[in-house]
Amino acid sequence: MIDFLKELFVYSHQMNQQLCMLLTQQPAPERSISLMSHIINAQEIWNSRLEAISIQRGVWDVHRADQLLQMDQMNELKTMHILELVDLGSTLQYRNSKGEEFVNTAKDILFHMVNHATHHRGQIATDLRIHGIPPLAMDYIFYKRK
């Protein structure tokens, strides 16, 4: 399972990187920048929860397009480090951005991180299309065919 999660995170990271590059190559829609910032913020927040460290990042903080590529790279390194150490069956008690308390397994959190990013990349693709910018082909199966 760890190997599969690593593969999913590599895919997610590569799609994030391609999308970040696209967003810096032309004037990008504000919503797309906001959603990409959200993807990156959420991964950083989940990483910090898995490592039981505190960070001062808001889930909807917006970053400049030229910052996103490096931020995503740092997240990927941190996530891969976590995957080397984590017990997938361990449980994590945490508070969400509204202060509500939850408990989930590390495995479910890690899968959620990938799924969450995929969901919002789909929203970005729609936003780009609305603004006349051809979106990237980001489906997992397309990635695996390469």
Q: What is the pLDDT of residues 31-67, one digit of tens each?
A: 999 999 999 999 999 999 999 999 999 999 999 999 9
Domain count, the chain: 1
Alpha helices in 25-135 (DSSP H): 30-50, 65-85, 106-130
Asked if 95 contacts 36 with a C-beta cutoff of 8 angstroms, the reply is no
Q: What is the pLDDT of residue 26?
A: 84
The predicted-structure confidence for 73-87, as pLDDT tens digits, reads as follows 999 999 999 999 999
User: 137 lies in which domain range?
Assistant: 2-145
With a CB cutoff of 8 Å and minimum separation 6, the contacts of 122 are 138
* CATH code for the domain of 59: 1.20.120.450
Amino acid at 57: R
